[in-house]
Amino acid sequence: MSAYDPDNIFAKILRGEIPSTRVYEDNETLAFMDIMPRADGHLLVIPKTPCRNVLDATPEQLNAVMATVQKLALAAKRAFDAGGVTIQQFNEAAGGQEVFHLHFHILPRHEGEPLRAPGKMGDFEVIAKHAEQIKAAL
Ligand code: 5GP
Protein backbone atom coordinates (compact mmCIF):
# COMPACT_ATOMS: atom_id res chain seq x y z
CA MET A 1 0.00 0.00 0.00
CA SER A 2 1.31 3.50 -0.84
CA ALA A 3 2.31 5.97 1.84
CA TYR A 4 -0.11 8.68 2.98
CA ASP A 5 0.09 11.71 0.66
CA PRO A 6 -0.14 14.92 2.73
CA ASP A 7 -1.23 16.82 -0.40
CA ASN A 8 -4.44 14.87 -0.95
CA ILE A 9 -7.55 17.03 -1.30
CA PHE A 10 -8.97 16.26 2.16
CA ALA A 11 -5.63 17.10 3.83
CA LYS A 12 -5.86 20.46 2.04
CA ILE A 13 -9.43 20.90 3.30
CA LEU A 14 -8.25 20.11 6.85
CA ARG A 15 -5.51 22.75 6.58
CA GLY A 16 -8.00 25.26 5.17
CA GLU A 17 -6.06 25.51 1.90
CA ILE A 18 -9.17 24.80 -0.15
CA PRO A 19 -12.74 25.69 0.85
CA SER A 20 -15.31 23.25 2.18
CA THR A 21 -18.76 23.45 3.70
CA ARG A 22 -18.13 22.26 7.25
CA VAL A 23 -20.98 20.93 9.37
CA TYR A 24 -19.24 19.63 12.51
CA GLU A 25 -15.83 19.23 14.08
CA ASP A 26 -14.26 18.09 17.32
CA ASN A 27 -10.64 17.53 18.35
CA GLU A 28 -10.27 14.33 16.31
CA THR A 29 -12.72 14.55 13.41
CA LEU A 30 -14.27 16.83 10.77
CA ALA A 31 -17.55 16.51 8.86
CA PHE A 32 -18.18 18.46 5.64
CA MET A 33 -20.49 18.30 2.64
CA ASP A 34 -19.59 16.22 -0.45
CA ILE A 35 -19.32 18.52 -3.50
CA MET A 36 -20.88 15.86 -5.76
CA PRO A 37 -23.85 14.82 -3.62
CA ARG A 38 -25.49 11.53 -4.52
CA ALA A 39 -28.39 12.35 -2.16
CA ASP A 40 -29.57 15.54 -0.45
CA GLY A 41 -27.44 15.91 2.69
CA HIS A 42 -24.55 13.72 1.42
CA LEU A 43 -21.63 14.46 3.74
CA LEU A 44 -18.22 13.06 4.58
CA VAL A 45 -16.57 12.35 7.96
CA ILE A 46 -12.78 12.23 8.25
CA PRO A 47 -10.16 11.97 11.00
CA LYS A 48 -8.01 15.07 11.51
CA THR A 49 -4.89 12.90 11.67
CA PRO A 50 -3.41 11.21 8.58
CA CYS A 51 -4.32 7.73 7.33
CA ARG A 52 -5.30 6.49 3.87
CA ASN A 53 -8.28 4.34 4.80
CA VAL A 54 -9.52 1.59 7.16
CA LEU A 55 -6.52 -0.59 6.22
CA ASP A 56 -3.93 1.64 7.90
CA ALA A 57 -6.06 3.52 10.44
CA THR A 58 -5.38 3.04 14.15
CA PRO A 59 -8.14 1.79 16.47
CA GLU A 60 -8.18 5.29 18.01
CA GLN A 61 -8.77 6.94 14.62
CA LEU A 62 -11.54 4.45 13.81
CA ASN A 63 -13.19 4.92 17.20
CA ALA A 64 -13.21 8.70 16.86
CA VAL A 65 -14.47 8.65 13.27
CA MET A 66 -17.23 6.12 13.96
CA ALA A 67 -18.52 8.16 16.91
CA THR A 68 -18.80 11.18 14.59
CA VAL A 69 -20.32 9.06 11.80
CA GLN A 70 -23.11 8.00 14.17
CA LYS A 71 -23.67 11.57 15.39
CA LEU A 72 -23.91 12.94 11.85
CA ALA A 73 -25.98 10.00 10.52
CA LEU A 74 -28.59 10.71 13.20
CA ALA A 75 -28.52 14.46 12.49
CA ALA A 76 -28.76 13.97 8.70
CA LYS A 77 -31.63 11.50 9.13
CA ARG A 78 -33.51 14.03 11.28
CA ALA A 79 -32.65 16.97 9.00
CA PHE A 80 -34.12 15.32 5.90
CA ASP A 81 -36.82 13.28 7.63
CA ALA A 82 -35.13 10.27 6.01
CA GLY A 83 -36.33 6.70 6.40
CA GLY A 84 -32.75 5.44 6.59
CA VAL A 85 -29.09 6.27 6.06
CA THR A 86 -26.52 4.64 3.78
CA ILE A 87 -22.92 4.73 5.03
CA GLN A 88 -20.26 4.05 2.39
CA GLN A 89 -16.51 3.68 2.74
CA PHE A 90 -13.94 2.59 0.10
CA ASN A 91 -10.38 1.26 0.50
CA GLU A 92 -7.70 1.74 -2.18
CA ALA A 93 -8.35 2.30 -5.89
CA ALA A 94 -9.42 -1.30 -6.48
CA GLY A 95 -11.96 -0.86 -3.67
CA GLY A 96 -13.42 2.28 -5.28
CA GLN A 97 -11.46 4.90 -3.30
CA GLU A 98 -10.60 8.14 -5.11
CA VAL A 99 -9.35 10.39 -2.30
CA PHE A 100 -6.73 8.76 -0.11
CA HIS A 101 -7.56 10.16 3.31
CA LEU A 102 -9.92 7.96 5.34
CA HIS A 103 -13.54 9.07 4.89
CA PHE A 104 -17.04 7.77 5.43
CA HIS A 105 -19.95 8.88 3.23
CA ILE A 106 -23.26 9.58 4.98
CA LEU A 107 -26.27 9.51 2.66
CA PRO A 108 -29.80 10.15 3.97
CA ARG A 109 -32.22 7.83 2.10
CA HIS A 110 -35.92 7.72 1.32
CA GLU A 111 -37.84 4.57 0.41
CA GLY A 112 -37.79 3.95 -3.35
CA GLU A 113 -35.38 6.82 -4.16
CA PRO A 114 -32.14 5.59 -5.73
CA LEU A 115 -28.83 7.35 -5.20
CA ARG A 116 -27.98 9.86 -7.92
CA ALA A 117 -25.16 8.99 -10.34
CA PRO A 118 -21.64 9.77 -9.03
CA GLY A 119 -19.39 12.51 -10.41
CA LYS A 120 -21.88 15.35 -10.91
CA MET A 121 -21.02 18.63 -9.19
CA GLY A 122 -23.76 19.90 -6.85
CA ASP A 123 -25.18 23.42 -6.64
CA PHE A 124 -23.15 25.32 -4.03
CA GLU A 125 -26.12 27.24 -2.60
CA VAL A 126 -28.23 24.10 -2.25
CA ILE A 127 -25.35 22.27 -0.54
CA ALA A 128 -24.88 25.22 1.85
CA LYS A 129 -28.60 25.15 2.69
CA HIS A 130 -28.46 21.40 3.34
CA ALA A 131 -25.44 21.91 5.61
CA GLU A 132 -27.44 24.41 7.67
CA GLN A 133 -30.30 21.90 7.97
CA ILE A 134 -27.89 19.25 9.30
CA LYS A 135 -26.24 21.70 11.72
CA ALA A 136 -29.68 22.66 13.06
CA ALA A 137 -30.46 18.96 13.66
CA LEU A 138 -27.22 18.24 15.58
P1 5GP B 1 -14.24 8.09 -2.71
O2 5GP B 1 -12.77 8.26 -2.45
O3 5GP B 1 -15.01 7.77 -1.46
O4 5GP B 1 -14.54 7.14 -3.83
O5 5GP B 1 -14.81 9.47 -3.28
C6 5GP B 1 -14.36 10.72 -2.83
C7 5GP B 1 -15.54 11.62 -2.58
O8 5GP B 1 -15.03 12.91 -2.33
C9 5GP B 1 -16.53 11.76 -3.75
O10 5GP B 1 -17.84 11.53 -3.29
C11 5GP B 1 -16.34 13.19 -4.23
O12 5GP B 1 -17.54 13.77 -4.66
C13 5GP B 1 -15.79 13.87 -2.99
N14 5GP B 1 -14.90 14.99 -3.29
C15 5GP B 1 -13.88 14.98 -4.21
N16 5GP B 1 -13.25 16.17 -4.21
C17 5GP B 1 -13.86 16.93 -3.26
C18 5GP B 1 -13.64 18.27 -2.79
O19 5GP B 1 -12.76 19.00 -3.25
N20 5GP B 1 -14.46 18.72 -1.81
C21 5GP B 1 -15.46 17.93 -1.27
N22 5GP B 1 -16.20 18.49 -0.31
N23 5GP B 1 -15.70 16.68 -1.69
C24 5GP B 1 -14.90 16.19 -2.68
Confidence bin at 24 (pLDDT 50/70/90) = very high
How much is the pLDDT for 19? Answer: 98
pTM of the model: 0.98
At the topology level, CATH places domain 9-115+126-137 in HIT family, subunit A (3.30.428)
Mean pLDDT of 12-36: 98
Maximum CA pair distance of the chain? 40
**Percent of the chain whose predicted confidence (pLDDT) is above 70:** 100
The model's pLDDT over 36-92, given as tens digits with 9 standing for 90+, comes to: 999 999 999 999 999 999 999 999 999 999 999 999 999 999 999 999 999 999 999
Mean pLDDT of 108-116: 98
Q: Show the beta-strand stretches assigned E in 1-138.
A: 22-25, 29-33, 43-47, 84-88, 104-109
Judge if the beta carbon of residue 68 lies within 6 A of ligand 1.
Answer: no
Burial code of 92-111, b = ≥16 C-beta within 10 A, e = fewer? eeeeebebbbbbbbbbbbee
Give yes or no for residue 1 having a pLDDT over 90.
no
CA-proximal residue: ligand 1, atom 20 (nearest): 35
**Based on C-alpha coordinates, what's the Rg of the chain?**
14
Judge if the beta carbon of residue 74 lies within 6 A of ligand 1.
Answer: no
How much is the pLDDT for 68? Answer: 98
Judge if the beta carbon of residue 95 lies within 6 A of ligand 1.
Answer: no
Query: Which helix H or strand E contains 12, and what residues bound it?
Result: helix 9-14
